[in-house]
């Protein structure tokens, strides 16, 4: 089952965010653990600045997709929703949880676009993520992010 998160899911979301952080190829993030900052961000998301979808299997939360709305630097009326975290616990990968999270995000993003609340929505892929072809879900490659 896929559902939208509520503030009562905060502890589990933070737990999954820690797992997500430990899987990132960015070593510096392993040293970060500012739970207060994360809770503030989640409060903004729950207040309408984004969305969190949760995947549940066997009465437990096994995955999430977090996205936030951001105004364009040049035009505050041009709002884009950006995925921040797309995570499925390793023992639940290979099933349908990840696909269902992405489908819920896509449906939600399409609905916001139709209502004129956002211009677009994005999804990203870390270098160590599975090689998913997001174009089959209607996404178009926009950019690549590199760090030094």
Tell me how far apart the alpha carbons of residues 27 and 23 are, in angstroms, rounded to a whole number: 9
pLDDT of 3 reads 97
Helices and strands: H and E segment counts in the chain: 3, 5
Helix spans in 45-118 (H):
97-114
pTM over 0.75? The answer is yes
Q: Does domain 2-137 have CATH number 3.40.30.10?
A: no
**pLDDT tens track for 3-62:** 999 999 999 999 999 998 887 766 666 666 778 889 999 999 999 999 999 999 999 999
Length of the chain: 148
> pLDDT-based confidence at 143, cuts 50/70/90?
confident
Tokens for 8?
Answer: 């009562």
| More reliable by pLDDT, 101 or 137 | 101
Where are the chain's structural domains? Answer: 2-137
């Amino acid at each position: 089952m896929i559902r939208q998160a509520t503030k009562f899911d905060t502890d589990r979301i933070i737990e999954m965010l820690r797992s997500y952080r430990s899987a990132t190829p960015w070593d510096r993030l392993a040293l970060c653990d500012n739970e207060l900052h994360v809770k503030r961000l989640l409060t903004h998301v729950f207040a309408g600045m984004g969305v969190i979808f949760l995947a549940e299997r066997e009465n437990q939360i096994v995955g999430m997709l977090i996205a936030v709305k951001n105004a364009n630097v040049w035009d505050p009326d041009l709002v884009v929703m950006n995925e921040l975290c797309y995570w499925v616990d390793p023992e639940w990968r290979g099933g349908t949880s990840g696909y269902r999270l992405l489908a819920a995000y896509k449906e939600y993003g399409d609905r916001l676009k139709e209502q004129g609340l956002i211009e677009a929505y994005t999804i990203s892929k870390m270098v160590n993520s599975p090689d998913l072809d997001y174009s089959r879900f209607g996404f178009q490659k926009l950019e690549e992010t590199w760090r030094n």
